[in-house]
Structure 1
């Protein structure tokens, strides 16, 4: 307990001393904010390097597209045309691992298809429909048995 109290007292005094000398954390913050104080020549060199990098990647992508086109021509493949929905969804899907997100139109169509295929949609709504379906069962069963006996002959 006494060691804890002593550490607290000495620790607080050391923090005030390091703050006066200059802490590494403060220097890190200055470097992050130091873009305004950066030498104009360095800023220009950084901008030029970024432009060179972008130009290099643009040229590489053009070369790749030429190679893709030569492969398409060689094997008679057609270039896949992107729909407007795919073009909008692509930036969001970049770096995404799972499947693409469904559009509201696709979700609505899927819900309509599910509601049509529901097992409960064929279920009778009232008691009279249920009674009529139950009364039809023996006749359907007899007809099914009759068909089977006609097709299957025991020898």
Structure 2
């Protein structure tokens, strides 16, 4: 019978005292000090890692800036800001496209002389006898 009880409970008999709160009141002051020392060491390691990372990133940025200076490149933020400003400035007062985007001569016909028809423009590129044939 004793064997059956041990098998049924397994290793739970060891944890019964912990479940009742017996071990929580008796903590080893040495273990608490070791835990604090461990946490302090982890914090220091994390600080060192962050410092090392910041140093490496500063070195990378210095190399990037040297390349930008050498080839006359701009930072991504500067390029995006310029493109955004150009889009905003170019689209003032227009719903579809900026007015400056319309090439000269493609606007209103009132400021130009008489326009040629498409057929007449096409005839200019044909040989003489064919031009006369189509004009008749």
TM-score, length of structure 1 as denominator length: 0.33
Which structure has the larger Rg over C-alpha atoms? Answer: 2
Comparing both chains, which one has the higher relative contact order based on Cα–Cα distances under 8 Å and sequence gaps of 6 or more?
A: 2
